[in-house]
Amino acid sequence: MNPLREKIGYGFGDMSSSMFWKIFSYYLPFFYSNVFGLSLADAGMLMLITRIWDAVSDPMMGVIADRTQTRWGKYRPFLLWIAAPFAIAGILLFTTPDMGPTGKLVWAYVTYILMMTVYTAINVPYGAMLGVMTDDSNTKTVFSSYRMFFAYGGSFIALYSWEPLCNWFKSMDCSLAQSWQYAMVVIALGCLLGFLICFTLTREHVKSITSQSVGKDIRSLVRNAPWWTLNGASLLFNFFNTVRGATAAYFFKDYIGANAILDFGAFNIVFYAGLFLGVGEVCNMIGVALAVPVSLRLGKKSTYTLALTSLAVLSVLFFFVPNTPLGWWLILILQVLISLCTGIISPLIWSMYADVADYAELKDGTASTGLIFSSGSMAQKFGGAFAGWAVMALLSLFGYNTAEDAIQTPEALGGLCYLMSFIPAAIAVLSMLVVFIYPLNHNRMEEINAQLKSRRTN
């Protein structure tokens, strides 16, 4: 039985990753187009092209982590080694240099590739730790739930505070670009601390079998049908989240407007993108808490499918909400319900990757845990990359104007509504079809766990 401190400590790791990841996913497109000064086309192409390196670096990091041997374990030491470079890379990413257009574009490519490389170097080993902290499938779901609960908590802190931080630094006579950079310094320090806490409180308990042959691990991976299916589902899930999240800043700036107020009677609250996204993160945390009891009752696969069905329906409803004071409340309610569903799905994905690693160990005699979890990180990045590129490309197609005081055309405003509704709904439906063919259901995993336990004790 793993102690509570390990579950809490494991959660702090993804709190740090998620604080950066959500800012990158939801605000970096807006930063590049409206603060840094890139065109929509350049910003979108940047996010797409840099993922080519990620396609190589994630599996490479998985192979390296699988073969790392230290007194702290295989995967845990990377939390200590990479924490500071992770924070520094994030600050550089949100730094606007005093350069011409070409120099700034080069800076954007270099810092973005650096950030994603460092993110891979810490997040792939962190994810793989789930496979060696316990050998029980249900306990992996518990660990994964702690992970995602803390991740969404960190996301809430980062997203809810981001715009107030930027505005506060701007009120201190900082330029717009400086205010974004200094806000990232604050977030980066919190991420550094979270990774160090995770390293301190966690331990590796399971000695998984790793082949000395990289080729054998890769052959095992290529033949692993559940791995292919789960990668597709993970990519589409992150596509869904990033399309909605990356559109939110544009949606609130130009469709909802700066004067939207939620009337609570005794007091009023400004309805802005950070509040919308922050409420979503809190509801994601509630969804994570529901994931364990619901999945224990229905099974991981059935729970995943039910949540995706709900996402498709709720996303369609989003389109028909009017831009009125009553409509703003309805938008918030739909965000609550959508985020409950995404919160339920998030821990299931990582728990299912751990199941895929167990399936590989039983089938081929090698767990390749780091390599398998690297694919989860890779799918996350590809989903975010294609979504970021798609948002930029569609905004350009709809005629969106990036000028600070621009008045958007009806076509551009309609495009923002589609990006928050029908497009995510279509992604959820496609994801349902992929999850339908995933073969590792509850009964199959019980058989695999029993056979592995017997093998590991002999």
**Could you tell me which residue, 380 or 439, shows the higher pLDDT?**
439
Identify the CA nearest to 139 among candidates 129, 151, 127, 130.
130
How far is the C-alpha of 3 from the C-alpha of 9, rounded, in Å?
10
Name the more confident of 14 and 49: 14
Q: Is the dihedral of CA 332, 333, 339, 340 positive or negative?
A: positive
Report the alpha-carbon distance of residue 96 to residue 98 in Å, rounded: 7
Going from N- to C-terminal start, the domains of the chain cover 4-453
What's residue 457's pLDDT?
A: 67
- Tokens 């890139």 -> residue: 38
pLDDT tens digits, 142-157? 898 899 889 888 988 9
- Answer yes or no: is pLDDT of 435 > 90: yes
Instruction: Determine the average pLDDT of the residues in 3-17.
Output: 95
Q: What pLDDT sits at residue 371?
A: 75
Query: pLDDT of 283-311, one tens digit each?
Result: 998 998 899 899 988 888 899 999 999 99
DSSP 129-147: THHHH-S-HHHHHHHHHHH
Contact between 240 and 390 under an 8 Å Cβ cutoff? The reply is no
Whether 25 and 197 have beta carbons less than 8 Å apart is answered as no
Helix (H) or strand (E) holding 447: helix 442-457
What mean pLDDT is predicted for residues 417-446? 92
Q: Say which CATH topology domain 4-453 has.
A: Growth Hormone; Chain: A; (1.20.1250)
> What distance in Å separates the CA atoms of residue 22 and residue 326, rounded to the nearest whole number?
28
- Whether 265 shows a pLDDT value over 70: the answer reads yes
384: confidence class by pLDDT, cuts 50, 70, 90: confident
Cβ(276)–Cβ(339) under 8 Å?
no
- Give residue 456's pLDDT: 65
Tell me: the pLDDT tens digits for 54-113?
Answer: 667 888 888 898 888 899 999 999 999 999 999 999 999 999 999 999 999 999 999 999
* 397 pLDDT more than 90: yes
Tokens 């950070």 belong to 274
| Site of tokens 């979890």 | 373
8 vs 266, higher pLDDT = 8
Please state, in angstroms and rounded to a whole number, the distance separating the CA atoms of residues 441 and 452: 17
CA angle 344, 350, 352 (to 5 degrees): 95
The share of the chain scoring above pLDDT 70, in percent, equals 96
Residue type, 46: L
